[in-house]
């Protein structure tokens, strides 16, 4: 089932929760709605699910308008952040709940529940209660309950938000396998960039109730469309300067080739990621002199705060193996070059 929203809008007492949002998700896609708290992503998800009524705009499911259809009529499965399992029911009865509401036969219910227990890798847990499960297991049961009535769309609102880092990582892998097996159109809300990048094949980034960029994880990471996305997604350096001459900006010892259509003295902000700062112990072409002011170990990379003079600093991330082989240490003189960057004009 495809999902399409056209000009969707929802305001609460003058607050713009979602404003004029349009997007189309193809059948079988796995998409993340990413954004900070209050950006409107959960409100958008709830309108698609039929749990909120929009003030304006349209919702189409598989080409059929469903803007004012009930949640039941839409045939979507919804998973909340905090599981929302029935504590007094066993795992079996939690999963079977939607099927019993639809008055399906006992044999059909039994077959479907055990099919889903196998899918979520909890066969043998059917007689347990939610209190006897781990957080990750409870969330898998919540997903199974949503899948039981065979919905055409799966919607997940911060599905791993209440779990610790290790369990979140395991569930990301599980959601990917689940999607491969079911090929169900899936849309999930998250504020975790890493989660969106690892799980989704497409990301919609929301800010102030609007979609600021729609693209693949690589497009979002490498080609941010706005100031907000450049700062919000991943780690970044940013520096403010101005166009010094046609096609050129200067900041400290660095020279940047920029769009020649930008006017001289136009103020700009330049963004570049720490992993796009190339650091060596020996001078190479187009590098500038720097000093390692501070070292920070970050697992697979080591981050260096580089002093480039004139009270100016940038951050560089070097793969741990390269950093150790190079013998970088605090106080050492090194050489640096910025290999990729993005320029955005600063509006007066």
Q: Which CATH superfamily is domain 3-232 in?
A: P-loop containing nucleotide triphosphate hydrolases (3.40.50.300)
Residue 300: both structure tokens together = 């697979």
Please report, for the chain, the start and end positions of each structural domain, with discontinuous segments joined by +. 3-232, 237-345
- The class that CATH gives domain 237-345 is mainly beta
Query: What is the band of 347 on the pLDDT scale with cuts at 50, 70, 90?
Result: confident
Interval 288-338: pLDDT, tens: 999 999 999 999 999 999 999 999 999 999 999 999 999 999 999 999 999
Answer whether residue 83 shows pLDDT above 70.
Answer: no
Q: Is 245 helix (H, G, I), strand (E, B) or coil?
A: strand
pLDDT of residue 250: 96
Q: pLDDT confidence of 1, banded at 50, 70, 90?
A: confident
Kindly report, residue by residue over 10-66, the tens digit of the pLDDT: 999 989 999 999 999 999 999 999 999 999 999 999 999 999 999 999 999 988 999
Pairing relationship of beta strands 248-251 and 312-319 according to DSSP bridges: unpaired
Does residue 67 or residue 173 have the better pLDDT?
A: 67
Range scoring the smallest mean pLDDT among 73-77, 108-112, 327-331: 73-77
Q: Is 278 exposed, middle or buried (0-12, 13-18, 19+ CB in 10 A)?
A: middle
What integer is the mean pLDDT of 94-110?
92
DSSP string over 39-87 = SSHHHHHHHHHTSS--SEEEEEETTEE-TT--HHHHTEEEE-TT----T
Write the pLDDT tens digit of every residue in 252-298: 999 999 999 999 999 999 999 999 999 999 999 899 999 999 999 99
**What pLDDT, on the 0 to 100 scale, is given for residue 309?**
94
Intrachain domains 3-232 and 237-345 with the same fold: no
Average pLDDT for 119-145: 92
Q: Has residue 80 got a pLDDT over 90?
A: no
- Report long-range pairs for 328-332 (Cβ below 8 Å, ≥24 apart): 328/279, 328/281, 328/292, 328/295, 328/302, 328/304, 329/292, 329/295, 330/292, 330/293, 330/294, 330/295, 331/291, 331/292, 332/281, 332/291, 332/292
Token pair recorded at residue 169: 């990582």
Judge whether residue 213 has pLDDT over 70: yes
DSSP-based three-state secondary structure for 18: strand
CA-closest candidate to residue 121, choices 173, 184, 156, 186: 173
Q: Residue 162: is its pLDDT beyond 70?
A: no
Residue 147 has pLDDT above 70, yes or no: yes
């Amino acid at each position: 089932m495809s999902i399409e929203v056209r000009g969707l809008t929802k305001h609460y007492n003058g607050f713009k929760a979602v404003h004029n949002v349009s997007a189309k998700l193809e059948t079988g896609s796995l998409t993340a709605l990413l954004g900070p708290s209050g950006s409107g992503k959960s409100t958008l998800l709830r309108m698609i699910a039929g749990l909120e009524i929009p003030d304006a705009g349209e919702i189409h499911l598989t080409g059929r308008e469903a803007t004012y259809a009930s949640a039941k009529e839409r045939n979507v499965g919804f998973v909340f952040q905090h599981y929302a399992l029935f504590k007094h029911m066993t795992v079996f009865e939690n999963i079977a709940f939607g099927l019993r509401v639809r008055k399906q036969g006992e044999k059909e219910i039994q077959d479907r529940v055990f099919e889903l227990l196998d899918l979520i890798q909890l066969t043998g847990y059917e007689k347990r209660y939610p209190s006897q499960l781990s957080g990750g297991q409870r969330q898998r049961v919540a997903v199974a309950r949503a899948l039981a009535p065979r919905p055409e769309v799966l919607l997940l609102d911060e599905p791993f938000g209440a779990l610790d880092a290790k369990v979140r990582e395991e569930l990301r892998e599980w959601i990917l396998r689940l999607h491969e097996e079911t090929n169900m159109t899936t849309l999930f809300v998250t504020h975790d960039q890493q989660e969106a990048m690892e799980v989704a094949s497409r990301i919609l980034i929301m800010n102030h109730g609007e979609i600021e960029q729609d693209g693949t994880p690589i497009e979002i990471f490498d080609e941010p469309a706005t100031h907000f996305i450049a700062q919000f997604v991943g780690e970044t350096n940013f520096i403010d300067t101005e166009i010094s001459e046609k096609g050129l900006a200067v900041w400290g010892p660095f020279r940047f080739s920029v769009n020649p259509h930008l006017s001289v003295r136009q103020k700009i902000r330049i963004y570049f990621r720490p992993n796009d700062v190339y650091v060596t112990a020996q001078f190479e072409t187009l590098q500038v002199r720097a000093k390692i002011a501070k070292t920070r170990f970050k697992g697979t990379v080591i981050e260096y705060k580089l002093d480039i003079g004139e009270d100016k600093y940038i951050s560089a991330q070097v793969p741990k193996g390269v950093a150790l082989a190079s013998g970088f240490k605090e106080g050492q003189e090194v050489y640096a070059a910025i290999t990729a960057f993005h320029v955005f004009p600063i509006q007066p």
